[in-house]
Amino acid sequence: MGFLDSYPADLAEWERDARLVKRGFVHPWRSHVGAGNGESFFDALVRDHLWPDSVVFDVGCGHGAYTCALAGGCARAIGVDRDPEVLELARELATERGVGNVEFRPLTFGSGAEGALAEVPERSVDVFVCRRGPVLGRWLDLARRLARPGAVAIGIHPTGPAGAVPPWNSQLPASLRLGRVFGYDEVRSWVTGALPDGDQRVRLEGCWWLDVPERFDDPAQLYARLAGAANAETSYADVKDDLTKLFDGYDGTLELRHTRLVWKVALHS
């Protein structure tokens, strides 16, 4: 297992389950992510709020591996997503892993259909988690209805300060170049902009920026990372020589910044 032990949970999960990749959900890659990264911090923060009798609601749960992982620490975990294909895989994973207290439901936030979630009573949810799912403004109203007094919402978004795009980006083959990186302030405003003015019952309780290096020492792995993010059609064979030359120019190691914004909102009723 080796490097996976210190790997952020979201990345390690893809490496451990080849079916996720086979179904085309992501390209896995190997890299070295510094300690204290945002994903690990987010996971620890979420787990600090879990109790054996908690009800957890995972907004934009995707293939549900994280929802299943959280289910072990609470009474009921509900994952919702707009994509029926990922929900099908989520149910499969839950059955395979023997997780009985998790359920996955289709829901598209922002579509006006949020009231249709009859299986989840109002004032019954303790923790809303949003790991790279839809922005808070799309689901805050629903969360306020479903929140038990004292509930919290905790989220994480990839982000980056100005300069998070590495200097070698322009030397990459065009199809692999990183696009725009949203700055910390802009991503923070996705959260704060959703909070009602002057209503102390719903307020930002914490906001953390985490920025650690993610190092690549193999051109094939950087290709996997960039091609996945860009949905590039280019094959590795097409770009291997260019990438190898780029690595040679940087002593064999290229560094990306693994930047995340983690936030926590209190939902008092």
**Contact positions vs ligand SAM (CB under 6 A):** 10, 60-62, 66, 81-83, 86, 107-110, 131-134, 138
Residue type, 75: A
Distance of alpha carbon 8 from alpha carbon 41, whole angstroms: 9
Looking at beta carbons only, is 243 or 259 nearer to ligand SAM?
Answer: 259
CB 135, min distance to ligand SAM, A = 8
Looking at beta carbons only, is 26 or 75 nearer to ligand SAM?
Answer: 26
Check: CB of residue 168 under 8 Å from CB of residue 242. Answer: no
Q: What is the 3-state secondary structure (H, E, C) of the chain?
A: CHHHHHCCHHHHHHHHCHHHHHCCCCCCCCCEECCCCHHHHHHHHHHHCCCCCCEEEEECCCCCHHHHHHHCCCCEEEEEECCHHHHHHHHHHHHHCCCCCEEEEECCCCCCCHHHCCCCCCCCEEEEEEECCCCHHHCHHHHHHHEEEEEEEEEEEECCCCCCCCHHHHHCCHHHCCCCCCCHHHHHHHHHCCCCCCCCCEEEEEEEEEEEEEEECCHHHHHHHHHHHHCCCCCHHHHHHHHHHHHHHCCCCEEEEEEEEEEEEEECC
Looking at beta carbons only, is 11 or 243 nearer to ligand SAM?
Answer: 11
CB 65, min distance to ligand SAM, A = 7
Token digits of residue 175: 């199809």
Looking at beta carbons only, is 132 or 268 nearer to ligand SAM?
Answer: 132
Residue type, 125: V
Distance of alpha carbon 154 from alpha carbon 180, whole angstroms: 25
Looking at beta carbons only, is 113 or 248 nearer to ligand SAM?
Answer: 113
Looking at beta carbons only, is 73 or 173 nearer to ligand SAM?
Answer: 73
CB 253, min distance to ligand SAM, A = 27
CB 153, min distance to ligand SAM, A = 14
CB 250, min distance to ligand SAM, A = 29
Looking at beta carbons only, is 83 or 88 nearer to ligand SAM?
Answer: 83
Looking at beta carbons only, is 28 or 62 nearer to ligand SAM?
Answer: 62
CB 86, min distance to ligand SAM, A = 5
